[in-house]
Structure 1
Amino acid sequence: MTLLHPVRILTVCTGNICRSPVAERLLQAGLDQVLPGGFEVRSAGTRAMVGNPIQPLSADIIRRYGGTPDDFSSRQLNQNILRESDLVLTMASNHRGEVLQLDPSMLKRTFTIREFARMVTALEARGNASPSDTDFAQLWRELPARASSVRHLVLAAQASDNDVADPYKQGAEAYLRMEDELAPAILRILRHARLSLAS
């Protein structure tokens, strides 16, 4: 199966050199295994360090999970980038707020990545599958609305449970914490992609 118009996912953090590049590259690597050419994952920063490469410790995490950190250049988030996106996954709640300040129309397509991972897991638990005659791309373009319908079932115990900690200018331990918070969310989303293709 090949898609004429790949599903476009945008990951967002602050500087676009630590968290969102990890999410971008690992989601892209995993989704390429699910459906080659089916997804286009990119990232941007709300206060991007424009033109900078991925931070070395983030690059190490990407390699460890089978992605590539090469040929990356940080870019500033803007309204045009948002409007090209079918789904926006932010690294923290404040980034979601900044996305919506830029473009309020993105409200129903923007989530923190940890919250979204809980939502798709809740959809699976409810057996809330799309009709079998819905094509894969359309299924994913409708996924944000379907995920929103179960938001009330997966509310975080505390607000920080929606966020991925920022490791910038900190040591290896901070990057490990970022990995511990981010990797499970990415794996849940990739599992959902595999299940949705099989349905």
Structure 2
Amino acid sequence: MTERFTVLMVCMGNICRSPMAERLLRLRLDERLADGDLVEVHGAGTGAWHEGEPMHRQAAEEVLARGGDPSAFAARALTEEMLESDLVLTATIEQVGFVAELVPSAASKTFVLGEFARLAAEVPDDLPGSDLAARGRALVAEADQLRDGARYSDEVPDPWGRAPEYFTAVADQIDDAVTVLADRLTTKVARA
């Protein structure tokens, strides 16, 4: 069996931002890969307030509007085991700190979503590795070397309790960032 590259999306409650990021990244990868099993994408929240709940209705509508699938989603609380993922992407700078406190060894592979997209775009295409998992891990290592500090503009604002237009703006921001990641992960990999 081919080794998979794993991406964990983290936000506060795992019903708005991280589910949109999870499902939109899955969509963008499936558009680019012949074998979608090469990448595992999952998500969690820093708290268990919504554990077991479906994706927020408006978040689900944003995923659907872009062609993604919000079905069969259930919110989860972050565990140490989840942080064994190859890449951890959070909605905020504070959540990066939360991850680093929970599992200090995860700090080098944990980024704010916008920060990672910004840094990944700077990494040269000639990454080492013959498969997606190896290239993905090399991308994460290179992005870690390029770190210059996350910016507040890298953060994904929380749309919970806000107007539908706010959800749309947040979903657009997430989709832009995960599209960069999907493009970088699938460079020189079999396309669909």
Q: Assess same fold via TM > 0.5.
A: yes
Q: What does the per-residue CA deviation read over 1:86-145, in whole Å, with 9 as the maximum and x for residues that have no partner?
A: 11011111111111111000011100110000111111xxx35224x5332211122211
Q: 5+ residue gaps in structure 1?
A: none
What is the identity, as a one-letter code, of the residue corresponding to 1:7? F
Task: State the match for 1:147 in structure 2.
Answer: 143
Whole-angstrom CA distance in 1 between matches of 2:184 and 2:116: 11
Shift in Å, 1:69: 0.4
Q: Point out the more displaced range, 17-26 or 170-179.
A: 170-179
Q: Deviations over 1:51-84 (max 9, x none)?
A: 110011100111112110000000000101112x
Match of 2:166 in 1: 174
Partners of 2:79 and 2:186 lie apart in 1 by 31
* Partner SS for 2:7: strand
Unaligned 5+ runs, structure 2:
none
- Distance in 2, Cα, partners of 1:192 & 1:4: 19
Q: Are residues 94 and 196 of structure 1, via their aligned partners in 2, closer, same or farther at CA, if it must alter by over 3 Å?
A: farther
Q: Deviations over 1:132-181 (max 9, x none)?
A: x53322111222111112223xx56xx32110010111221321231232
Tell me if structure 1 keeps the 8 A contact 2:8–2:88: yes
On the 8 A contact 1:25/1:62 being kept in 2, the answer is yes
Identity %: 36
Provide TM-score, normalisation by structure 1. Answer: 0.87
- Bigger RCO of structures 1 and 2 (CA < 8 A, at least 6 apart): 2
Select the residue among 108, 126, 150 that pairs with 1:129. 126
Contact 2:132/2:186 (8 A) holds in 1: no
Q: Which amino acid aligns with 1:97?
A: G
Do 1:167 and 1:174's aligned partners in 2 also have CA atoms closer than 8 Å? yes
The residue aligned with 2:12 is 14
The count of aligned residue pairs is: 187
Normalised by the size of structure 2, how large is the TM-score?
A: 0.90
CA distance in structure 2 between the aligned counterparts of 1:143 and 1:178, rounded to whole angstroms: 25
Aligned AA for 1:136?
A: L
Q: What letter matches 2:154 in structure 1?
A: N
